[in-house]
Structure 1
Amino acid sequence: MKETNSLGNLAIIILNYNTAGKIANQVTQLIAEGISSSIFYIIDNHSKIEDRKSLEDFSQKNNLNFIKSPENGGYAKGNNIAIAHAINDGKIVFLILNPDIEIPLKTISTLYETISNEKELLFVGPRICDKYDRNIIFSDGGILKPEKCFESDHLHYGRNVEEVNSSEKNYRIDYVNGSALMFKKETVEILGKMREDFFMYFEEAEWCYRLKQYPKYKQAILTNVVAYHEMSDKGDFYQFYMTRNRIYMCRLYQIPHKSLIKSYLYEAQKRFLGFKGNTKKNFSFFTTQVKAVLEGEFQKLNS
């Protein structure tokens, strides 16, 4: 297929942590659609040696930009490294993709055209649907509720596409999902880079939420183009960072959150003392939740 040259200013950034096979499939599909290999920036987040070597070999074979991080510093740190590399190469528009995202060229091109033509648009993303049930919406944009200690949600989550009547461009969101997030160089210049102390979860939400300080600028979800997300099971890892980082958000934006901490600790105690479910899992939930609360409340945050 003829190579697409209209995306020359774009860098597609994909962060790897032991997902070399998924990234190889993802990139192969996009190259087959006509995207130039020079657009891809693959950043390895200190994966296992075999996985990193496999991805490095694939990148060399396909002339991709391959970057090794000296440590697994989390989502934000890994992506920030790749963004800096791409800016140094003269790129001015960036698309962060999770390895489990399936995204067609049409979606990328539409996002690119939109953010390039709207000066005040700093973030844009597609509608995200379930990869295995493509009529089910995962997200039409992220919602944050600071009045409820930054309770978060995805607009239209779990609804059928045919049931949702929405405009093709929705600006009434609080963040663009980090699994398919497009932004431009001005975004970094105005807002700064993503916070690296979050490690995982809430980092893109906090980054986008900074727009509240700049009423002139906007973010949007384009519901007329789609990417497909692979749902995954949520365990202790997810629970820890979602709990800790939600408390971080409250601290950063000076939101009173004693009620949130009480609810977290009550739920942990309830699971620990309860007689239902798996005892080992209940204890794991308890220790994870308590550790997350303590770190969330007392860990020093970067200025």
Structure 2
Amino acid sequence: MQNPDISIILVNYKTPHLIVDCLHSVEKHTSGITYEVLVVNNDPDPSGQAVVLNAFPTTRWIEMGYNAGFSRANNRGIAESKGRLVLLLNSDTLLIDNVLKRCVDLLDSRPEVAAVGPMQITRDGQVHTEAYDGFSQLRRYFYIVPGSGFFKKLLHRLLPDNQYTDPDEVDWLIGSFIMTRRETIQKAGMLDDNFFMYAEDVEWCYRLGKHGKMLLLRDAFYIHLEYGSSTDYQERKVTHINRFKPQMHVSNLLWVRKQYGVGAYLILILHYLTLIPVIFGWKIGVNLLKLRPPFSELENQREFARHVGIFLRFFWKTVFNQKGFYKI
């Protein structure tokens, strides 16, 4: 049998029913190309296999044997896939039209393009406005500074965005939908398996982008529900200083170290360490001015200090860029 046009790779961790919904949308909306589906299982619960294979018996089910995270699971899928193109697709996504055919045609007709993906929308059709596609956008977000225009302008000056003549060209594509050629992966390498979850798509796109353009099709869309397995690794409370989910930011810091070097990483760590006495001192001062007990209502500050402590667990490994599994 001839190899398919696309190998669609999904990772399962407690999301078999989402995968079934996703594959129904793929089946409904995809025509004019051939594809295979590989589901790489990170979930120790064996029941998901029957859920998926009963609905889609031709799916190739691959067991990892443990929760291997996003990079290692997708790398296993890539290694066992047969398509000339590879699509990483999140389990919590839904196609709404024949976007796979459009992406295939684009990669086939434009050899200067390394990878392509469509825009994310919500179930009710709203574009995900908080989705970043630039390296500097992410790096600026990592700095916790007052929200005034001065500091925003300063960060933009220090960390400017890359400029492209093609309006669809970006620095990186969200890992929930990345299509690329097998030959491009052979040149750039697979995902970095030191990452457990988050930022691996950013780092991978940096390497893919060395071999061509990264295109975000601004007139093509897919639904990203964003409530899949990743919720197990997120903290719900978000404030200005506690904006980082610990697992996500451990991975973000690893990406900064790998792409921008040890200096950029150390500056961020120093920034967070310096902030600890600043935010405690500021809150104590506010309490005194309002005639409250000086050490009251410091939960937000303590939470930030706890998060920095989590980041520091990986400090020496990150400084020396050591191989390992950067999982909290």
Shorter chain as normaliser: what TM range?
0.7 to 0.9
1:67 corresponding residue in structure 2 = 62
Deviations 1:91-125 (Å, cap 9, x if unpaired)?
A: 11111111111223421111111112211211111
1:76 aligned onto 2:34: no
1:162 alignment partner in structure 2:
none
Q: Which residue of 2 aligns with 1:249?
A: 255
Residue 202 (structure 1) shift: 0.8
How many Å separate the matches in 1 of 2:60 and 2:138?
43
Secondary structure at 2:61's aligned position in 1? Answer: strand
1:48 alignment partner, SS class: coil
Partner of 2:207: 210
- CA apart distance, 1:21: 0.8
1:137 aligns with 2:128: yes
Q: For residue 5 of structure 2, what is the amino acid of its counterpart?
A: N
1:287 aligns with 2:301: no
CA contact (8 A) 1:100 1:229 kept: yes
Structure 1: gaps (5+ residues): 1-6, 153-166
Give the structure 2 partner of residue 155 of structure 1. Answer: none
Retained in 2: the 8 A contact 1:20–1:52?
A: yes
What amino acid sits opposite 1:112 in the alignment?
A: V
The match for 1:128 among 102, 106, 120 is 120
The alpha carbon displacement at 1:27 in A equals 0.7
Comparing both structures, which one devotes a greater share of its residues to strand?
Answer: 1
Q: Is the 8 A contact 1:265 1:290 kept in 2?
A: no
Residue 239 (structure 1) aligns with = 245
- Which whole-Å CA distance do the structure 2 matches of 1:146 and 1:34 have between them? 33
Q: Name 1:12's counterpart in structure 2.
A: 8
* Structure 2 gaps, min length 5: 144-164, 238-243, 284-295
Counterpart Cα distance in 2 of 1:34 and 1:243: 36
Root-mean-square deviation (Å): 3.5
1:44 CA displacement:
1.0
**Cα distance between partner residues in 1 of 2:30 and 2:121:** 23
Quote how far apart the aligned CAs of 1:270 are.
7.0
CA distance in 2, matches of 1:150, 1:302: 26
Report the CA distance shift for 1:19/1:101 in structure 2 as closer, same or farther (over 3 A): same
Q: Is the 8 A contact 1:15 1:45 kept in 2?
A: yes
Instruction: Tell whether the 8 Å contact from 2:21 to 2:94 is kept in structure 1 after alignment.
Output: no
Change (3 A) 1:100 1:138: farther
Once the 2 structures are TM-superposed, how far is the Cα of residue 229 of structure 1 from its aligned partner? 1.6
d(CA) in 2 for partners of 1:130, 1:109: 21
Q: Secondary structure at the match of 1:220?
A: strand
| 1:249 to partner: Cα distance | 2.3
Residue 246 of structure 1 and its aligned partner are, at CA, apart by 2.5
Partner of 2:269: 261
- The TM-score, its normalising length taken from structure 1, stands at 0.76
- Alpha-carbon distance in 1 for matches of 2:62, 2:138: 40
Q: Which residue of 1 aligns with 2:19?
A: 23
Alignment partner, residue 158 of structure 1: none
Which of 94, 105, 109 is residue 102 of structure 1 equivalent to?
94
Equivalent residue for 2:322?
Answer: 301
1:193 is matched with 190
Q: Taking structure 1 as reference, are residues 129 and 296 closer, same or farther at Cα in structure 2, changes over 3 Å only? A: farther
Greater mean deviation of Cα atoms: 142-151 or 182-191: 142-151
Shift of 1:255: 5.0
CA distance in 1, matches of 2:86, 2:203: 18
Report the equivalent of 2:168.
170
Bigger radius of gyration among the two = 2
* Matches of 2:262 and 2:278, distance apart in 1: 26
Contact 1:97–1:179 under 8 Å retained in 2:
yes
The 1:136/1:120 distance shift into structure 2, 3 A limit, reads closer
Judge which range, 51-60 or 173-182, deviates more.
51-60
AA of the residue aligned to 1:198? F
Between the aligned residues of both structures, percent identity stands at: 19
In structure 2, the residue matched to 1:226 is 221
Q: How many residues align?
A: 273
